[in-house]
Structure 1
Amino acid sequence: MAIRAADSIFETLIDEIMAGQMVPGEPLVEQTLAEQFGVSRTPVREALHRLEQACLAERGARRAFVVRRMAPEDLAELFEATGEIESTLAALAAKRMSEIERRKLETVLDEGDACDDPAAYSEINSRFHEIIKSGARNSILASTLDELNLRTLAWRAANFREDSRRLASSRVEHRGITQAILSQDADTTRRQMCSHVASSYIVLSDILARRSPDRSGPQF
């Protein structure tokens, strides 16, 4: 029960941070959150530790958690690293995926084309990338990507919720990646995936810049 409560609190806090409802530097007080969610402090503490692992929270004064301030250049480096690792996995998948996995990828692609709901598309998007990661047959690179995804997936999901154009552009990019994989063209697959992750970062930068009160730059 505590684990399920921690999951719910974690997901709710992510949604609020991504939507800009909780600003960088805002305190994340265990007792206050426990009262808000109607739970003990144990699942709250677990959720806050997971937020810290996802680089969405950090320790502030007196070691208390606050919503993390992330410099624009840090976020850019994070997405660059993700793009490099994921594009390498995609290139390997183009050569190593089984025929069954290729068909599954096409099926998920079609699901995405038919989906206009941001939350549902975010889940489809995760499955699309998971199939490619699995098809690469490289556990070391896959585990590295898992660590990076823990820190980027919440940001990437915010794209679909806050920019209606992102669903359409993501579908086009997914189709290009799929076509390159089906053609077993590793070089094109690598370029397509790297561009896909870069596009996510650019959309996110625009979203965060619009939240900036003085328009001087993104506020993370």
Structure 2
Amino acid sequence: MTKRTADQIYDSVLNRIVDGDLRPGDSLGEQSLAAAFGLSRTPVREALQRLANEGLTERGPRRTFVVRRMGQAELHDLFEALGELEALMARLAALRMTEIERHALREIVSDSERPGIDYEQANARFHEALQLGAHNGMLSNLLADLKNRTMPWRGAQFRARADRVTSSQTEHRAILKAVLARDGDQAHLQMRDHMAASMRVIAELIGT
């Protein structure tokens, strides 16, 4: 077994969670995954444990791994932390982005409004551009961890609520306007509002 092999399994399962192919509560059988990859169960177990350490999987019935479920209170706390950090990154990006980065952010927002666009990917690109534009590696690492923990739910809001795409696009334009104006306070405020709106939709989905 090599670390690279466990990483490949990790990446595959993570991508399926992010894409929505695996939903909270779905079983992740070690034996079936091992058979799918043509490997022993050891690297599979290592990959699933890594996902558990990141808060994406947990032990379910009979000690098998499942995609982790979250209650509203726990998810609220997670998104509150994420929202504050995203808002800080937006503030820093407004102050620190280069002209090339600002132009790229404008293009991302424009592209995300084209008909037929994969908005989940466009949304991820927007937030990643701000994360990189903040030019703070330590904060970026912290944000990446929180993003991993919330990925399944962040994507679900767009699949379950078509109107959320439209409102998210409007919120992105407001954040972009603040960043282009180099207004850190407004970028911070708009991003907090954006993340709060996402949390409200996700809370509704969990409650249904």
Structure-2-length-normalised TM-score: 0.85
CA distance in 2: counterparts of 1:146 and 1:9, whole angstroms? 17
Cα pair distance change 1:81/1:122, threshold 3 Å: same
Structure 1 segments (4+ residues) deviating >6 Å: none
Does 1:8 pair with 2:6? Answer: no
Q: Which deviations, in whole Å up to 9, do the C-alpha atoms of 1:147-174 show, x marking residues without a partner?
A: 1111112210111122111111111010
Cα pair distance change 1:50/1:159, threshold 3 Å: farther
Moved more, 97-106 or 107-116: 107-116
CA distance in 2: counterparts of 1:161 and 1:42, whole angstroms? 34
Displacement of 1:112 in angstroms is 0.4
Residues 83 and 195 in structure 2, CA contact (< 8 A), matched pair in contact too: yes
Does 1:184 pair with 2:182? Answer: yes
Displacement of 1:127 in angstroms is 1.3
Cα pair distance change 1:13/1:176, threshold 3 Å: closer
Displacement of 1:89 in angstroms is 1.0
Instruction: Find the counterpart in structure 1 of residue 161 from structure 2.
Output: 163
Cα pair distance change 1:206/1:62, threshold 3 Å: closer
Displacement of 1:176 in angstroms is 0.4
Q: Within 5 Å, which residues of 2 pair with 1:22-171?
A: 23=25, 27-35=27-35, 37=36, 39-40=38-39, 41-42=41-42, 44-60=44-60, 64-117=64-117, 120-171=118-169
CA distance in 2: counterparts of 1:128 and 1:5, whole angstroms? 27
Instruction: Find the counterpart in structure 1 of residue 191 from structure 2.
Output: 193
Displacement of 1:116 in angstroms is 3.5
CA distance in 2: counterparts of 1:43 and 1:167, whole angstroms? 38
Moved more, 58-67 or 108-117: 58-67
Residue segments in structure 1 that go unaligned for 5+ positions in a row = 211-220
Displacement of 1:83 in angstroms is 0.5
CA distance in 2: counterparts of 1:116 and 1:28, whole angstroms? 32
Residues 87 and 193 in structure 1, CA contact (< 8 A), matched pair in contact too: yes
Residue segments in structure 2 that go unaligned for 5+ positions in a row = none
CA distance in 1: counterparts of 2:43 and 2:196, whole angstroms? 35
Displacement of 1:62 in angstroms is 7.1
CA distance in 2: counterparts of 1:115 and 1:80, whole angstroms? 31
SS of equivalent residue, structure 1 residue 113: coil
**Percent of matched pairs sharing the same residue:** 42
Instruction: Find the counterpart in structure 2 of residue 218 from structure 1.
Output: none
How many residue pairs match? The answer is: 202
CA distance in 1: counterparts of 2:66 and 2:9, whole angstroms? 20
Displacement of 1:126 in angstroms is 1.2
Residues 92 and 136 in structure 1, CA contact (< 8 A), matched pair in contact too: yes
Displacement of 1:66 in angstroms is 3.2
Structure-1-length-normalised TM-score: 0.81
